[in-house]
Structure 1
Amino acid sequence: MDIKHITVNGLDLAYVEQGEGPLALLLHGFPETPDMFRHLMPELVNAGYRVVAPYMRGFAPSQVPPDGSMLMKDLIADANALHEALGGDGDAVIVGHDWGGFTTWGAAALAPERWSKVIVADVPPVRFYERRAAVPEQIHKNSHFYFFQMSVADQLVPVNDFAYLDWLWEHWSGNVPGFDSAQDRQAGKDALREPANLRAGLGLYRQNFPAAEFGTPAWDMGRLLAELPTQPTLYLHGGEDPVVDEEILADIVAALPEGSDGALLPGVGHFPMVEAPQEVNRRILAFLAK
């Protein structure tokens, strides 16, 4: 797909686009790119959507913010500004995974008039993170949160062609037979290969999870994402990603508005869009068709 460019919030953001119809904005996470949605995009096009998947600010070929800001408030502002700049209307839908998922929770809650339906994968609303925060397995699964706070990460992450990012994919993936993450790993590395891009990517963690405030009442991201969407929402989560279990999933769906739904995908890890694309696409299309 050809890469296009658009200016929002003073930044040049790259994006890929397919189809015509109501806007479907797809937001990726770390260490990912819009390629994460390569299986979903044609299905949404066939369902009648104009599908746009931007490269997150700081991820090449999008611009690195001149002030280095990768704060959640800026990511949310980018999503809602893209809706405006791309001519979205009230029929638009928003889909997010990982950091794109955090952004989706915030963008949908802040501007409900822009997004008719909301889909998030593998990052529950922040209020549900504390349920397993003290579980050792969960602490270990999130070890990158703590490693990335150290300045030495800028030197260690790129070693041996970003071998740490290869390890993260292995660490977060599930037990899907035949799943190969090579294409996604390469795309993520290329988006973060330049030092400025890597600093921006690591800045997501350093700026939004500051060591002194993360998890306390002073935590800005926690306050910003405290409200849930008022639109029908679909929440998908890989069963091998331990931050959510069946009990927590049921409570998430119960906290969401009428018309919402959720699913825990057996054997799938943190990357359901590429680990189990047929199942994910089926669930998303059924939800949008309601």
Structure 2
Amino acid sequence: MEASFPTTTLSVGGLQFTALEGSRSSARDRRRPLVLCLHGFPDHHRTWRLQIPALEEAGFRVVAPLLRGYEPSSQPIDDDYHTIRMVEDVLGFIEYLGCLRVHLVGHDWGAVIGYQVAARAPERLSSLTAMAVPHPKRLASVAALRLLPRQLRNSWYMFFFQLRLLSDAALRRNDFALVDKLWRDWSPGFTPPAEEMRLLKRTFRQPGVAAAALGYYRDMFDPITRAAATSRALMRATVSVPTLALTGADDGCLDTRLFDLMRSEDFPHGLSVQRIAGAGHFLHQERPDEVNRRLVDFLRRHEPGDVGCD
């Protein structure tokens, strides 16, 4: 049965973003510390359905928005999907929600965006939790090069998505069968609920959503614009907030050994890298109890007093 959550609309930068909220996110609960959850690809905000109740039970308020482009109301006229724009969106969410700072939790692209938000505006975050994507600063090291052949094979889809007409058509073909394939490959042995995959594909069927989702990968390879240069600079910057990095031991998208290259000196306020056994790329859905336990423990240990929202 579909788990139902209240929704709210975040108005930022002339765009409208639908967000899931926990059932306790009423006015009387706005002083609870806020956890802002960002999804990845191919996914949407319901990816956090197994975390929202646990975080609420632990005393947190939760907001999980759809990312830029994942609904018609958040698709910019200029089709700009450089990560710096999503950073600006997230900072806008925090401002719109009236928060001094939040705990930011991101999976996949949400983790990529999270690293950049932490580099751009660390004063707005109490902590960062990044799932399934390591910080990229050390990925050009000699140690990383040893993993390159396998990782290039795993990352075939990034290059395929640069073929605009072909990949656009391929993503939509056979009821988004490519989405099913990526989930199977990235989380071997995991079968997500059929109803949840139906709802996910409903998101991707909305006008412009599939093209927007692929736009993230295309703008990532943009070699010339200022937005691209700013995004790349943020990806190399120090992360000055307490950070938890979670990786599934069986991730078929990003080799879990890449997380071993992360260095504490790039995280002066603390870094904890933790590996979840028996999980792949979608670790928070595959092992929700284990992920929730580690997440709640981390958030509770990094909770300043002035975290409420107006």
- Whether 2:289 is the aligned partner of 1:289: answer no
- Whether 2:290 is the aligned partner of 1:276: answer no
Q: CA deviation at 1:202?
A: 0.7
Q: CA deviation at 1:139?
A: 0.9
| Residue matched to 2:232 | 222
Q: Is the 8 A contact 1:5 1:15 kept in 2?
A: yes
Q: Is the 8 A contact 2:45 2:66 kept in 1?
A: yes
Describe the superposition over 1:91-120 as per-residue Cα deviations: whole angstroms up to 9, x where unpaired: x21000111111111112211111111100
Q: Is the 8 A contact 2:72 2:209 kept in 1?
A: no
Residue among 33, 52, 61 paired with 1:22: 33
Q: Is the 8 A contact 2:250 2:280 kept in 1?
A: yes
Q: CA deviation at 1:129?
A: 3.1
Q: CA deviation at 1:221?
A: 3.3
Q: Is the 8 A contact 1:5 1:13 kept in 2?
A: yes
Describe the superposition over 1:151-176 as per-residue Cα deviations: whole angstroms up to 9, x where unpaired: 21111211110011110111111345
Mapping of residues 1-290 of structure 1, within 5 Å: 1-18=5-22, 19=24, 20=29, 21-60=32-71, 62-90=73-101, 92-130=102-140, 131-132=144-145, 135-151=148-164, 152-175=166-189, 179-210=191-222, 221-241=231-251, 243-245=254-256, 248-249=259-260, 251-253=262-264, 255-290=266-301
Describe the superposition over 1:120-148 as per-residue Cα deviations: whole angstroms up to 9, x where unpaired: 00111112333158632211111110111
Q: Taking CA–CA contacts closer than 8 Å with sequence separation of 6 or more, which of the two structures ends up with the larger relative contact order?
A: 2
Q: Is the 8 A contact 2:104 2:125 kept in 1?
A: yes
SS of the residue corresponding to residue 124 of structure 2 reads coil
Q: Is the 8 A contact 2:72 2:208 kept in 1?
A: no
Describe the superposition over 1:186-231 as per-residue Cα deviations: whole angstroms up to 9, x where unpaired: 3332222135111111100011123x67xxxx86532221113211
| Residue matched to 2:307 | none
Q: TM-score, normalised by structure 1?
A: 0.89
**Percent of paired sites with the same residue:** 34
Q: Is the 8 A contact 1:233 1:257 kept in 2?
A: no
Change beyond 3 A, Cα 1:236–1:83: same
Change beyond 3 A, Cα 1:46–1:191: same
> What is the root-mean-square deviation in Å for CA atoms of aligned residues?
2.2
Q: CA deviation at 1:27?
A: 0.3
- Counterparts of 1:96 and 1:288 in 2: how far apart (Å)? 14
Q: Tell me which amino acid in the other structure corresponds to 2:249.
A: G
Change beyond 3 A, Cα 1:245–1:286: same
Q: TM-score, normalised by structure 2?
A: 0.84
